[in-house]
Amino acid sequence: MLITRRSFFKELRIKTLRGFWTDYFNQHSAELADKYPGLNLQRFLLEVKDIVALKLKAPVDLDQSEYSASEHLTDELSELFLKGMPFAYILENAEFFHHNYYVNKNVLIPRPETEYLVDMIVKEFKDKANRVLDVGTGSGVIILSLLAHGVGKAGVGVDISDEALEVAKINCQRLALEKKVQLIKSDRLQKVEGTFDLIVSNPPYIKASSHKELVHKSVDKYEPHQALYLPDDFYVFWFEDFFAEIRSHLKGTFFMEGHELELDDQAKMLGRLGFQNIKVLNDMSGTKRYLKATI
Ligand SMILES: C[S@@+](CC[C@H](N)C(=O)[O-])C[C@H]1O[C@@H](n2cnc3c(N)ncnc32)[C@H](O)[C@@H]1O
């Protein structure tokens, strides 16, 4: 009979990594479901595999690795999981539109909705844009994905946060786009010069009070508030100033990700400022998620 390493482990009652973390998942399923909505065992084990490999700096096979080889990590990881620390921050990595990006606590973890926006733009603007601007660049995923996929010959990414710009710089180097992308510290477009034929933004768009109950507690706890929230009483003014700045730097198309409850009003705001061809577009779940307009 063929004795595999897996059955050998079973025979000797040695716990594999899969065995240990499966038991952990089953014992803490309620707490984990609360912290990580939609998490199932299969995905949890994939995340654990990547995290343990990163920490051990070696590839890991859940069935071939004895749990004891990484026992020293158990307390640390168990605690992080029960606190709901996003996997991307533990891994310092987020996958976005065919690339891996460095992320840390100073940047928003890029979302599938933003990936969907980038996909739409790539389909429409590949080889068709010259200068592209990304406002609120964070980890740089939007501007770097666009440039890496042939949208724009040169790009500018701006952010108000020095720490976020440090992350964007690392990603710019990872994708070897330093010569094409300039990163600038700026409050919206205040320090931006020149015009662009494409401006894209995923700004902070959650109202700090009235929208907050829709935000998952782990997002609120771990992700930078500067990337998420704007004060309720400042919200309209913030976007009015922002759109006016966009208008004076745009000779082409503007795309923005935004809040489903605000986009219709913001579309009207764009109309008052003289933007044309204004559309509110849905995301992959059919929820209003983006603005598109031209000058
Ligand atoms: C929702 S995050 C988007 C990050 C990234 N573009 C993405 O899509 O994953 C918003 C970003 O805007 C930046 N930000 C907030 N207020 C800003 C402002 N007034 N001017 C420029 N950037 C700002 C935040 O630091 C954050 O990085």
> pLDDT band at residue 1, thresholds of 50, 70 and 90?
very low
Judge if 77 and 113 occupy the same domain.
no
Judge if 124 and 206 occupy the same domain.
yes
Q: Is residue 146 part of a domain?
A: yes
Cα angle at 140 between 177 and 93, to 5 degrees?
100
pLDDT at 158: 98
> pLDDT band at residue 64, thresholds of 50, 70 and 90?
confident
Number of domains in the chain: 2
Mutate to test the pocket of ligand 1, among 167, 226, 257, 290 (most ligand atoms within 8 A of CB): 226
pLDDT in tens, 158-206: 999 999 999 999 999 999 999 999 999 999 999 999 999 999 999 999 9
- Coil, helix or strand at residue 293: strand
Find out whether 16 and 45 touch, Cβ atoms under 8 Å: no
Q: How far, in Å, is the centroid of ligand 1 from the Cα of 21?
A: 36
Find out whether 193 and 243 touch, Cβ atoms under 8 Å: no
Judge if 137 and 179 occupy the same domain.
yes
The helix or strand, by DSSP H or E, that contains position 268, with its residue range, turns out to be: helix 263-272
pLDDT at 79: 93
pLDDT at 14: 67
Q: Is the pLDDT of residue 240 over 60?
A: yes
Residue with tokens 């782990």: 218
Judge if 125 and 44 occupy the same domain.
no
pLDDT at 11: 55
pLDDT at 65: 81
Q: How large is the average pLDDT for residues 247-265?
A: 98
Cα angle at 71 between 83 and 92, to 5 degrees?
50
| Domain finish residue from 85, 115, 144 | 85
Residue with tokens 């004891």: 68
Ligand 1 atom with minimal separation from the 139 CA? 5
pLDDT at 9: 54
